[in-house]
Amino acid sequence: MCGSSDSDSHDGYLTSDYNSSNSLFSLNNGYSYSSASLDRATFDCQDSDLLGNHKHPMLSTEVPRFISNDALHSPITLNYKRDNDDVTYTNAKVNKFMIVLIGLPATGKSTISSHLIQCLKNNPLTNSLRCKVFNAGKIRRQISCATISKPLLLANTSSEDLFNPKNIDKKETYARITLQKLFHEINNDDCDVGIFDATNSTIERRRFIFEEVCSFNTDELSTFNLVPIVLQISCFNRDFIKYNIHNKSFNEDYLDKPYELAIKDFAKRLKHYYSQFTPFSMDEFNQIHQYINQHEEIDASLFFFNVINAGIVEPHSLSHSHYPSTCGRQIRDTIMVVENFINHYSQMFGFEYIESVKLFFEKFEDNHEETLAALDSVVNDEFFNDLQELIENNGFS
């Protein structure tokens, strides 16, 4: 066990000075932002042994050959007939789903979201659900590009750096706008599964999100009930991280930047995130569940899944599901499909990804291109040791 322990902070969570009138989601005031109290809650680190895996890159392990190409390419579907007449209601409201992603930058959150959507679309139980990703980075770029018409201005000073913890308020604003967009589209019945794609890397952020979910669900004017699913994406393998950083240097933030500058900037961003990140734990799950039950005055549903190292680390012991006592078929079906996706992620998508990583490094070693040398010079052992130290200083080892 690691991380601080402070029993008062449990109360801080449960007695946040939050109310529906200062909610982000308010049908009467669609553009207000709440200021939830940000007391730090207790964190009981149950995943600490996993974080230690940095020291043992797993790429040397052969990708299992028993997986056929078919299994790699076609998402597994369940032989289970959907009963279209069975619509689940909670508090007389129709259920919709919100997937709250958690994970450091470049762990694969956006990629795995698109895989999940593919899987939901391919399953007869869930293919009628309209899924949409709400990406905080995309919203940030839309807003900042509209004002400065550039992909991302690289910061020269810490006060210019959006990802420096000093500037957390700016970053929170983009996240809130993104969340607001998700609630708005759910409420307008434009979407049935909203994926909130952001790092959601602090307990404070997650507390805010769940306060908003409660506010949405208890708002008399809203017609829908949101069923929250936490999906934590972790990546501890150094080769995976390095490959992902390389790919991140081509995203919209860096379109107009030279490769080396992009790599350096993204590496700096990662360090900021490692210094603040708190993984989601069962302790936090229980606190959130208790909070939702109290505020919604029902036996609320809450689900928690993990994808670790592209699914090659078995996450079963970390996942947790709380089905409400009167759980309808639609919730059970949807969760079953999500659970199936998680449990078979490596076969469906993970091994193919690992093949790409292996190919990348093989090519990299055979033909050490000048531009890629920049990757080695920035994302090296020293960098990984710094990340390890940052996360340890943050209370995890």
Ligand X SMILES: O=P(O)(O)OC[C@H]1O[C@@](CO)(OP(=O)(O)O)[C@@H](O)[C@@H]1O
Ligand Y SMILES: Nc1ncnc2c1ncn2[C@@H]1O[C@H](COP(=O)(O)OP(=O)(O)O)[C@@H](O)[C@H]1O
Residues labelled catalytic: 197, 235
If binding is defined by CB under 6 A, does position 105 make contact with ligand X? yes
| Residue 109 touches ligand Y, criterion: CB under 6 A | yes
Q: Are 306 and 315 in contact (CB under 8 A)?
A: yes
> Angle CA(52)–CA(57)–CA(63) in degrees, nearest 5?
130
Q: Confirm or reject binding of residue 244 to ligand Y (CB under 6 A).
A: yes
The smaller minimum CB distance to ligand X, of residues 140 and 238, is found at 140
Residue 166 in tokens: 């000093």
Query: For residue 242, what are its two tokens?
Result: 């390095």
Burial code (b: 16+ CB inside 10 Å, e: under 16) for 160-177 equals: ebbbbeebbeebbebbbb
- 186 close to 194: Cβ distance less than 8 angstroms: yes
Q: Per rule CB under 6 A, is residue 135 in the interface with ligand X?
A: yes
Where in 302-361 is the site for ligand X (CB under 6 A)? none
Q: Which of 139, 310, 342, 390 binds ligand Y (CB under 6 A)?
A: 310
Listed in order, strand segments (DSSP E) in the chain are 89-90, 93-102, 131-135, 193-197, 224-234, 302-308, 320-322
Of 79, 120, 74, 118, which is closest to residue 97 (Cα–Cα)?
A: 120
- Does residue 137 interact with ligand X by CB under 6 A? yes
Per CB under 6 A, which region of 37-45, 110-118, 269-277, 384-392 contacts ligand Y? Answer: 110-118
One residue of 20, 107, 178, 234 binding ligand Y per CB under 6 A: 107
Which residue's C-beta sits nearest to ligand Y? 108
Q: Is 353 in the site for ligand Y (CB under 6 A)?
A: yes
Stretch that binds ligand Y, among 201-209, 220-228, 242-250, 275-283 (CB under 6 A): 242-250
159, 313, 184, 162: which is closest to 236 by C-alpha?
313
- Tokens matching residue 121: 């679309």
Measured from the CB of residue 334, what is the shortest distance to ligand X in angstroms?
A: 24
Q: Out of 53, 77, 111, 388, which residue is the one contacting ligand Y (CB under 6 A)?
A: 111
The residues binding ligand Y (CB under 6 A) are: 103, 105-112, 244, 247-248, 310, 349, 353
The residues binding ligand X (CB under 6 A) are: 105, 110, 135-137, 140, 171, 174-175, 198-201
